[in-house]
Amino acid sequence: MERFVYPFSAIVGQDKMKLALVLNAIHPAIGGVLIRGEKGTGKSTAVRALARLLPELTVVADCPYRCDPDAPEALCSDCQDRLARGETLPRARRRMRVVELPINASEDRVVGAIDIEAAIKSGERRFEPGVLAEANRNILYVDEVNLLDDHLVDVLLDAAAMGVNVVEREGISIWHPARFILVGTMNPEEGDLRPQLLDRFGLTVDVEGIKDIGQRVLIVERREEWESDPASFSQRFADRDAEIGTRIAEAIARFPKVVMPAGILRAIAELNVSLQVDGHRADLVGRKASQALAAYRGIPEVGVAEVNEVADMVLAHRVKAAGGRRELGAIPQSLPSASRASRS
């Protein structure tokens, strides 16, 4: 029996959050999303809903890391060996899932640990994969990321950045692919993440409870409908969801062909310099996010509008709160250099 997931297109409001998730689905190299906000604002609903409409994955059927048979550089060592021996790797299709990391996750659970049974039976130090292994090629959802032990967050972000999980403990030395879309949530009133860790999240979105009465009523109505008859509710939004899914798939295909004019890149860099942002990540994420947005909108060339639209998501967690005021500049609408397109 299929478990019903609340449809993505049925979520009321929260457009920025939905956009941030979509952009990461199109181009995971953006680096994930950190969603800051109170509880009950639809964060996990949105993430699960997104997973539902993403394209299915082709995986190596019997690989615990669900390796991609069509991406030989990203294979785990087992799959690599099998391929080297001339085996054809068995294929299967799987849906993308949301893997959750509980708050009180221990390091063993996250990173993986020694397989006790194997150790006891034969003295073998075998590796028991953890959450990071499950997350490979999926979405990793980390609730209340600011309450996690710092070193766990470090481990997560390292894996997210490098695409691998390297484990060196308890007598084992092992690595496996760990490529996932990272979504973290936190309540800012409970404290912040270290700037170093914050910076490694691609985008940040601040969500609040919706104030508009009309929308609030709609949220409740929809929720009630959903709960009383999830099947027909899903049906109602099935088409819209399918459309979004298709758009994302098309955007993924379109992404590499989107033109990024030199002037736009320059504008991004200038904006970040003027805001005195630390490091290069704001530049790099700004480029990727605006390009992903252009791809999603079917726009052949990235323009000022796209950069501005993603600017606050890219910069919210990187701009120093100098003097208590955080002003996110936007690049001016008419840029002499931006209007001339030339693929850099």
Partner 1 sequence: MPFELTLPFSALVGQEQMKRALLLNAVDPGVGGVLIRGERGTAKSSAVRALARLLPDYEAVGGCPYRCDPAIPSRFCDDCRRRAKHGSLPVVRLPMRIVELPINASEDRLVGSIDIEAAVRAGARRFQPGILAEANRNLLYVDEVNLLDDHLVDVLLDAAAMGVNVVEREGMSVVHPAHFILVGTMNPEEGELRPQLLDRFGLCVDVETPSDIDQRLRVMELEREFLEDPRMVQKAFGAQEASLRQQLLAAAMRLDGVNPPDAIRALISRLCLDGSVAGHRADLVVARAARAICALRQGSIVELPDVLEALELALAHRRRELASDKQVQAQELASRAAEQLAQIQASAPTEAAQAVRGEATQQEGAAGGDANEGWTTAESRESPSSEAVETEPDVVIQLRTFPVKKLDLPRERQARRAAGKRTSTKSETKRGRYVRSSQAEKVTDVAFDATVRAAAPHQLRRRQATPDAPNQLQLESQDLRQKVRERKTGNLIVFVVDASASMDAEQRMLATKGAILSLLRHAYVRRDKVALVAFSGRNARVVLRPTSSVDLAERRLERLNIGGTTPLTHGLMTALKLIKTERLRDPHVYPLLVLISDGRGNISLFGEEPLLEAQRTAGQIKQERIRAMVIDSTRDFGSQPGYPRNRVTSLYGAYAFNVCGDLAERLGGRYYGLFDLSQNAIVDSVQREMLRTGSA
Catalog residues that contact partner 1 under the rule CB under 8 A.
29, 73-74, 77, 104, 106-108, 111, 114, 116, 119-125, 147, 149-151, 154-155, 158, 163-164, 166-171, 173, 175, 188-196, 199-200, 256, 260, 262, 265-266, 268-270, 272-273, 277-284, 287, 321, 324, 344
Structure tokens given for 157: 């972000």
Three-state DSSP class for residue 307: helix
Q: Which is nearer to partner 1, 199 or 309 (CB)?
A: 199
Query: Would you call 82 a catalytic residue per the annotation?
Result: no
Instruction: For the CB of residue 197, give the shortest distance to partner 1 in the complex, in Å.
Output: 9
What is the amino acid identity at position 173? Answer: S
Instruction: For the CB of residue 18, give the shortest distance to partner 1 in the complex, in Å.
Output: 25
Paired strand residues for 55 = none
Three-state secondary structure string covering the chain: CCCCCCCHHHCCCCHHHHHHHHHHHHCHHHCCEEEEECCCCCHHHHHHHHHHHCCCEEEECCCCCCCCCCCHHHCCHHHHHHHHCCCCCCEEEECCCEEEECCCCCHHHHHCEECHHHHHHHCCCCEECCHHHHHCCCEEEECCHHHCCHHHHHHHHHHHHHCEEEEEECCEEEEEECCCEEEEEECHHHCCCCHHHHHHCCEEEEECCCCCHHHHHHHHHHHHHHHHCHHHHHHHHHHHHHHHHHHHHHHHHHHHHCECEHHHHHHHHHHHHHCCCCCCHHHHHHHHHHHHHHHHHCCCECCHHHHHHHHHHHHCCCCCCHHHCCCCCCCCCCCCCCCCCCEC
Q: Which is nearer to partner 1, 25 or 167 (CB)?
A: 167
Instruction: For the CB of residue 68, give the shortest distance to partner 1 in the complex, in Å.
Output: 14
Q: Which is nearer to partner 1, 11 or 135 (CB)?
A: 135
Instruction: For the CB of residue 16, give the shortest distance to partner 1 in the complex, in Å.
Output: 19
Three-state DSSP class for residue 285: helix
Q: Which is nearer to partner 1, 52 or 288 (CB)?
A: 288
Q: Which is nearer to partner 1, 119 or 218 (CB)?
A: 119
Q: Which is nearer to partner 1, 87 or 149 (CB)?
A: 149
Q: What is the largest CA-CA distance in the chain?
A: 71
**Residue of 48, 125, 236, 281 marked active site:** 281
Instruction: For the CB of residue 124, give the shortest distance to partner 1 in the complex, in Å.
Output: 7
Instruction: For the CB of residue 138, give the shortest distance to partner 1 in the complex, in Å.
Output: 20
Active-site positions read 281
